[in-house]
Structure 1
Amino acid sequence: MAKSAALLRIKSSFLYLPAFYGILSACLAFITLFVDHLLLVSGGRSTWIPFILLSDISLSQTILSSIASSLLTMTTITFSTILVVLTTYLSQFSPRALQNFITDHATQRVLGIFTGGFIYCILLLLLLKETEENQLFLVPAFAVGIAILCLIVFVFFIHHVTTWIQVSNLLHNITVKTIDSMEDRFLSKENAQIDSPWDDWESQEIATKKPIIYMSDKAGYIQYIDIPSLVETSCKYECIVKVERKQGDYVNEDTPLLAIYKNEKDISKELFMSHISVSLARAPLEDVEFGIRKVTEIGVRALSASINDPITAIHCIEQLSTILSRLSSMPEAAPYFNDKNRNLRVMVRNPDFFEYLNISFSSLIRYGKSDFDVVISLFHALTIISNHSEGPRKEAIWKFTQHALEAMKSENYLEIEKLRLNQSLKELLFSLGKSKEFTHIMFQ
């Protein structure tokens, strides 16, 4: 996906849509004032505009000032409501989940409309001047229309907040965003053009060469790696670039980030490093692992003694099964990227399917293995994932199943619970093609 990381960060910024609506409302203020002036000059007000929509200078200023103060109050209430939601997210769900609510376009549009309405009324108050005696104005009617729109938006915002604060809706939103990131990353055009292993003979050849190592310029998380730009730059300098860290990894000033394989040293470090975005916080810019960790963290927090909500943890496991089922049906991320002449240019590190399983379920197993319902839901989730998987990915699921069973062997379940666990385990092993292993690993 050849999008600029800077552009993606701007679009996900909390100020992006409010600033856009603010500028739009300023332009609208000048346009409506200009239309009002044209109608005055042409004398068309009495012909085209109902008299009830026209106001004199005193009434116009009263209407605009009242609407401006009301919109400022509504904006303040909206910000206070957002702070309440953020506090709830911090205490109940996950600090990482704040990002989903703040960057949600519906939330930003509400603030943008309120901000834009306030700017519109304030500018009209500043610009509205009486040029002749007993002059009537149309612009207050526009302001009243904007005020009614803001009231409708405010009612929508209350509904929006009550919907978002429900954990089921939050988990669904994170799941949808994560699946979208997976499709952007794994189903992209550049990911589909993968050479066969024997075509990348250069990767074997460069193992004997000493690369030029570039360290990270600052500490933080790798937000985005612009692969197409790296390929283009590597082609220009006729070199091969190996990205030593994967997206989402934390790096500091002493962390090797790029290895450049080239005979000469006439290359610009700044040019290559500009294609990798490092920031203090992780961002969901094709970062599948980050989305998975959000769901897992909500589930782990739900299993804590202070919250003790295993139903939420089960819901998290179900959402993770949806994400990993979709992931298992996608091709693996390309480790090699070639130029137009099929010459190797960029090598990257990608997590394998077992690593995704480990990120998703290991913490939930550690803290929820004593809860029978959580364990049952985990086996059911692994069965669903296995039904969508083939070959090596089934082996990864089998490997993780062994890991999970090892963690559970110290737990003492009731006899009826063991019967249900064995039934779920048998279904999982049948899906994995490992039915013969059941007698060796069943709960006894």
Structure 2
Amino acid sequence: MRAFVQQYYQRVIASYWFIPSLMAVGAAVLAIVLVEIDARFDIKSFGDGAFFFATQPDGARAILSAIGGSMIGVAGTVFSVTMAAVVFASGSFGPRLLTNFMNDRGNQVTLGVFVATFVYCMLVLRSVQDGSDSDVYGTMFVPDIAVFAAIILAVASIGVLIFFIHHVPSTIHISNVIAGIGKTLIRHIEANFPEPRERSAAADAVEARHWQIPACFRNESDPMAATVPYAEIACDRAGYLQVVDRQTLIEAARNADIVVRLNCRTGEFVHAGRILFHAWPSERVSDETRQKLLASIATGNERTPSDDPVFLIDELVEIAARALSPGINDPFTAITCLDWLTAAMAALAGHEFPDPLHDDDDGRLRVIDRHRSFDDYLELSFGHVRQYAASDMIAAERFLKSLAEIVPACRNDAQLAAIRFQMQAFMAPARAAHAGAALATIDAAGARLDASLRHPRGRLPPPGPAVPAAVALGTGEPAGR
């Protein structure tokens, strides 16, 4: 149940109706409160300034009608401009970026301000009475404080409109779009990956609980242990996996006294019949347990960035791939994507990866998670850009330089080996696509990366004579052979 609550919450905060609706309700409450204050207190107690007074009912109605009518018109214009900007951005940068624009708080608040001002003016307008027989009380009533508040809201709306005029072109600027995705990705890494100082403690904890992992779930299990039966829980719906509620998984596993291994990750497409969970021992897995385990996931029609960092990586890769396509040929946009991918991978290399083992309150192993390694993230980012960057000299040089900038952040030989693999996989298509001076530039960048990988501390070598570009990386043979 919690998975569906989390999913619905993510949908609500990404919608265009939630914040404007809240602001409209707040405006309605404010109108009622201020009208009641006007009805119960003497306006003279607030001073004798004429600026507070609307003088006559006709004047108050004219002010409120003008403000309310203009606000609803501007709200329609704001919505139209927003939709035009969203269509342009999604068509130019990729349809998956529509999620980012839907999450933009500036657009939501702008629309909410104009709608709220309109609602406020309409409710206050209803309370204005000129003392005619058609009025409810038959006496003249002008809510001076409420009308003055409407003027303040109108002035504030003008300020919001000025902000919106600046915000829309700023939002669809490609550098800001890429920066928004990159910053979100880095925040996700910092929030979900432990700090390096926790490395030893986390490693000791995993090692101490390793004995609790069933033999059938161990990668190093012997053939006989691997034959231990375990239950397979298949999916009962189709869609992209948006939420995995691990707390519900732990509770369900504890109630059934089983160990559950995830066979899926958020962002993956699942369908009816796909195995999502493995549970051991199989004889303790009842139909009720299966339903509880399936209740820990929520699926949808699209991927979301809330619990899926790969979705953010894919967005940067998509923008880079579009920029390097023959029809666009914009290597500098691709370089911007590589810069933010570099920052994200450096942050990832500098953090410890989450513990895949989850215990219950009694310290017993209940859930084995399925996490990606640094190699996986590097392949999903730089590996997926590799074929596009290799065809352009400017992007190719920056690709190798970006890998070199990740090297100092690496904390072990496995991470350095992953970078070396990306370098070697990149050089073959890059050499096949270039010749002459362009190839010499790429080989020089590759030689600098190779030198930084060979340095004992994984840092760039000190300034000195340039490494000959004609020397192939790690082979001692002339480039191009």
Q: Same fold (TM over 0.5)?
A: yes
Of the candidates 211, 215, 238, which is equivalent to residue 201 of structure 1?
Answer: 211
Where in structure 2 are the equivalents of 1:74-89 lying within 5 Å? 74-89=74-89
Per the alignment, residue 53 of structure 2 pairs with 54
Per the alignment, residue 375 of structure 1 pairs with 396
Of the candidates 252, 262, 265, which is equivalent to residue 285 of structure 2?
Answer: 265
So what's the TM-score if we normalise by structure 2? 0.85
Contact 1:57–1:137 (Cα < 8 Å) also in 2? no
Of the candidates 276, 283, 303, which is equivalent to residue 282 of structure 1?
Answer: 303
Per the alignment, residue 113 of structure 1 pairs with 113
Displacement, 1:443?
3.4
Please identify, of 85-94 and 67-76, the stretch whose mean Cα deviation from structure 2 is larger.
Answer: 85-94
Per the alignment, residue 402 of structure 1 pairs with 424
Displacement, 1:157?
0.7
Residue identity opposite 1:8 in structure 2: Q
Contact 2:242–2:299 (Cα < 8 Å) also in 1? yes
Does 1:253 pair with 2:260? no
Where in structure 2 are the equivalents of 1:193-232 lying within 5 Å? 195-197=205-207, 199-207=209-217, 208-232=227-251
Residue identity opposite 1:159 in structure 2: H
Displacement, 1:343?
1.4
Per the alignment, residue 434 of structure 2 pairs with 412
Displacement, 1:147?
0.9
Where 2:126 maps in the other structure, the secondary structure is helix
Displacement, 1:257?
1.3
Displacement, 1:362?
3.1
Does 1:169 pair with 2:176? yes
Contact 1:185–1:286 (Cα < 8 Å) also in 2? no
Does 1:144 pair with 2:151? yes
Where in structure 2 are the equivalents of 1:315-330 lying within 5 Å? 315-330=336-351
Alpha-carbon distance in structure 1 between the residues aligned to 2:297 and 2:128: 50
Displacement, 1:136?
3.1
| Unpaired stretches in structure 2, ≥5 consecutive residues | 131-136, 218-226, 457-471
Length, aligned pairs only: 439
Per the alignment, residue 45 of structure 1 pairs with 44
Alpha-carbon distance in structure 2 between the residues aligned to 1:17 and 1:441: 63
Displacement, 1:333?
2.8
Where 1:223 maps in the other structure, the secondary structure is strand
> C-alpha deviations, 1:30-80, integer Å up to 9, x for none?
1111111122xxx34365363332223222222112111101111111111
Q: 1:47 to 1:176 in 2, by over 3 A?
A: closer
Of the candidates 25, 31, 34, which is equivalent to residue 32 of structure 1?
Answer: 34
Contact 1:422–1:442 (Cα < 8 Å) also in 2? no
> C-alpha deviations, 1:236-257, integer Å up to 9, x for none?
3322111111111111112111
Of the candidates 393, 397, 409, which is equivalent to residue 415 of structure 2?
Answer: 393
Contact 1:68–1:122 (Cα < 8 Å) also in 2? yes
Q: 1:439 to 1:212 in 2, by over 3 A?
A: closer
Per the alignment, residue 370 of structure 2 pairs with 349
Contact 1:425–1:442 (Cα < 8 Å) also in 2? no
| Unpaired stretches in structure 1, ≥5 consecutive residues | none
Residue identity opposite 1:438 in structure 2: G
Where 1:4 maps in the other structure, the secondary structure is helix
Return the index of the structure with the highest Cα Rg.
Answer: 2
Per the alignment, residue 94 of structure 2 pairs with 94
So what's the TM-score if we normalise by structure 1? 0.91
Alpha-carbon distance in structure 2 between the residues aligned to 1:345 and 1:376: 47
Contact 2:229–2:280 (Cα < 8 Å) also in 1? yes
Where 1:268 maps in the other structure, the secondary structure is helix
Residue identity opposite 1:393 in structure 2: Q
Residue identity opposite 1:443 in structure 2: A
Q: 1:441 to 1:84 in 2, by over 3 A?
A: farther
The percent identity for this pair of structures is 25
Please identify, of 386-395 and 190-199, the stretch whose mean Cα deviation from structure 2 is larger.
Answer: 190-199
Contact 2:241–2:300 (Cα < 8 Å) also in 1? yes
Residue identity opposite 2:17 in structure 1: L
Displacement, 1:383?
0.5
Instruction: Work out which structure has the larger RCO, using CA pairs closer than 8 Å and 6 or more positions apart in sequence.
Output: 1
Q: 1:268 to 1:14 in 2, by over 3 A?
A: farther
Alpha-carbon distance in structure 2 between the residues aligned to 1:193 and 1:123: 59
Where 1:409 maps in the other structure, the secondary structure is helix
Does 1:159 pair with 2:159? no
Displacement, 1:235?
2.1
| RMSD between superposed Cα atoms in Å | 2.6
Please identify, of 135-144 and 405-414, the stretch whose mean Cα deviation from structure 2 is larger.
Answer: 405-414
Does 1:178 pair with 2:185? yes
Contact 1:354–1:400 (Cα < 8 Å) also in 2? no
